[in-house]
Structure 1
Amino acid sequence: MRGLDGKVVVVTGGAGGIGAATCARFAAEGARVVVVDIDEARAERVAGEVTAAHRAAGGEALARTVDLADFAATAAMVADIEQTVGPVDVLVNNVGWDVFTPFLKSGPSFWDKIIDINLRSVLNITHPVLASMVARKAAGRVVSVASDAGRVGSSGESVYAACKAGIIAFSKTLAREHARHGITFNVVCPGLTETAMLESFMDGAGDKEKLRQAFVRAIPMGRFGKPDDLPGAILFFASDDAAFVTGQVISVSGGLTMHG
């Protein structure tokens, strides 16, 4: 896609399924990718694999570890990236976590964990990245990975769905506030995708195989998504091809949810 070669791209949750696939696709386009993850060993492994696979295309990846729920630590990491790698051109907010838990069986400590990982992390890293983009008068791109749970709700995911809906509203609001700066904000909503998070979610839901079969029957395309199904939409929003696109939400769900 146009305009990604040489760009500095930060991907949170970069060592997971969708995150790792996204890092690889950006590197294949010649981008310099920063794999941000709380798991240092996995981040280093993904960064090494991505660099080895895409060095010939001019792409490379580096690992950074931080607790995105800590604003000061996150801001310090962004400052370090901008000093040692370069100013951030693209931010992909991809980190996420959930466990199947009916609301009345949950409590404040669980809510705090879900909110910290799925929403506060987005606020904490977007703030310093956006401030730098505005100061540099850079036409930056912020792409956030939310969820169809944030568009239509999802049983057993009340707080997670609230966070993902919050990401959508947050992105639309910043799209309005910063359109005049040439900075775009868009959202990609995965449906049911084969990731460690989905496995963790189903582990808490009872009969895992029965649930899996029911989910597949509900998807018009007849299968779960794969991590490699997501980067195309993410890279489109990050590219020059989407320079006039902002405040938009696209579902990548095999038709499970359809919006007019």
Structure 2
Amino acid sequence: MSLRIALITGASRGIGAAIARRLAKDGFDVAINDLPTQTPALESLREEIVSQGRRAYIHTTDVAEASEVKNMVDSTLKTLGGLDVMVANAGIGSLLTPLTECSEDAWDKVMRINARGVFLCYKYAAQAMIAQGRGGRLIGASSLAGKQGSGYSSIYCASKFAVRGLTQSAAQELAKHGITVNAYAPGIIDTTIFDAFSPEEGVGADVLNELVKKTPVGRLGKPHEIASLVSYLASQESAFMTGQTISINGGLFFD
């Protein structure tokens, strides 16, 4: 099996952009996705990847819309000639809110992107990979919050636990097609997503500092450190690993 074409959602910045850069460095041609509002950042990333000798294709899509995800996969097949690795990275945070005060709208918004979005990416990428008949890799974005629940984060935790269950189930179904399904579970990573949890001035920084203090390695993780794991999961060397959600959290929580 030759793995050579990857599609990364939520790739305009942070972990997604780092994954796209790393997979291009590994020799993949890449399709990079985000919302239309992130087009300038995607164009800059595409130019960077092309300058390194790889092909890069932009597709702006709402990953929670089935027709758009199917079109994104179909366009990748047509433009790049196939699909070997789907990285369902797109996700959003949620405000730190007591369960008794969580709104139904907040639940729907977070679950729509973090859980439904990964489901749709897995579904349509798997269909394409099965049709190709050369196997592949499905890789999803879970979280430390998908392994250890925490107060005031009920909705976000539920969405990331959902990715773990989906990953385990899909792995059992798709192994016979040579498709592995794994997820990565970041801890506290130096990106802007943490702002969504505590946007008030000073609050986010205070919470972040407390979490760093509890982390044995004593620092934030970096996006490229997540990308390094995804690089392995996308490689030939990971062929005997499936159904796993792997923590990268500086020791903040031990499986």
TM-score (norm 1): 0.92
Please list the CA deviations of residues 144-201 of structure 1 after superposition, one character each: whole Å capped at 9, or x if unmatched: 1210101011222211111111111101101111111111001110000011101232
SS of alignment partner, residue 105 of structure 2: helix
Deviation larger for 192-201 or 19-28: 192-201
1:40 corresponding residue in structure 2: 39
Deviation larger for 13-22 or 200-209: 200-209
**Alignment-mate amino acid for residue 83 of structure 2:** V
Change in Cα spacing, 1:231 to 1:30, as seen in structure 2 (3 Å) is: same
Question: Are 1:217 and 2:213 matched, yes or no?
Answer: yes
Is the 8 Å Cα contact of residues 8 and 32 (structure 1) preserved in structure 2? Answer: yes
How far apart are the structure 1 equivalents of 2:129 and 2:2? Answer: 17
2:6 corresponding residue in structure 1: 9
SS of alignment partner, residue 91 of structure 1: strand
1:253 corresponding residue in structure 2: 249
Following TM superposition, by how much is the alpha carbon of 1:107 offset from its aligned partner in structure 2, in angstroms?
Answer: 0.9
Question: Are 1:100 and 2:92 matched, yes or no?
Answer: no
How far apart are the structure 2 equivalents of 1:140 and 1:44? Answer: 27
**Alignment-mate amino acid for residue 248 of structure 2:** V
How far apart are the structure 2 equivalents of 1:34 and 1:10? Answer: 5
Change in Cα spacing, 1:124 to 1:204, as seen in structure 2 (3 Å) is: farther
Instruction: Report matched runs for 1:129-144 at 5 Å.
Output: 129-144=125-140
SS of alignment partner, residue 198 of structure 2: helix
Moved over 4 A (4+): none
Q: 2:80 aligns with which of 82, 85, 88?
A: 85
Q: 1:152 aligns with which of 122, 125, 148?
A: 148
Q: What CA RMSD, in Å, does the superposition of the two structures yield over aligned residues? A: 1.7
1:196 corresponding residue in structure 2: 192
How far apart are the structure 2 equivalents of 1:148 and 1:125? Answer: 21
Please list the CA deviations of residues 113-140 of structure 1 after superposition, one character each: whole Å capped at 9, or x if unmatched: 1011101111122211101111222211
SS of alignment partner, residue 152 of structure 1: coil
How far apart are the structure 2 equivalents of 1:14 and 1:217? Answer: 29
TM-score (norm 2): 0.94
SS of alignment partner, residue 92 of structure 1: strand
- Give the percent of matched residue pairs that are identical in Structure 1 and Structure 2: 32
1:66 corresponding residue in structure 2: 61
Is the 8 Å Cα contact of residues 63 and 90 (structure 2) preserved in structure 1? Answer: no
Following TM superposition, by how much is the alpha carbon of 1:209 offset from its aligned partner in structure 2, in angstroms?
Answer: 3.1
How far apart are the structure 1 equivalents of 2:214 and 2:44? Answer: 35
How far apart are the structure 1 equivalents of 2:147 and 2:162? Answer: 10
How far apart are the structure 1 equivalents of 2:148 and 2:201? Answer: 19
1:176 corresponding residue in structure 2: 172
How far apart are the structure 1 equivalents of 2:149 and 2:225? Answer: 22
SS of alignment partner, residue 73 of structure 1: helix
SS of alignment partner, residue 15 of structure 2: helix
How far apart are the structure 2 equivalents of 1:154 and 1:229? Answer: 24
Change in Cα spacing, 1:211 to 1:205, as seen in structure 2 (3 Å) is: farther
**Alignment-mate amino acid for residue 44 of structure 2:** R
Is the 8 Å Cα contact of residues 78 and 129 (structure 1) preserved in structure 2? Answer: yes
**Alignment-mate amino acid for residue 15 of structure 2:** I
Is the 8 Å Cα contact of residues 30 and 60 (structure 1) preserved in structure 2? Answer: no
Q: Which runs of 5+ in 2 are unaligned?
A: none
Following TM superposition, by how much is the alpha carbon of 1:254 offset from its aligned partner in structure 2, in angstroms?
Answer: 0.6
SS of alignment partner, residue 202 of structure 1: coil
Change in Cα spacing, 1:149 to 1:205, as seen in structure 2 (3 Å) is: farther
Q: Which runs of 5+ in 1 are unaligned?
A: none
Aligned residues: 252
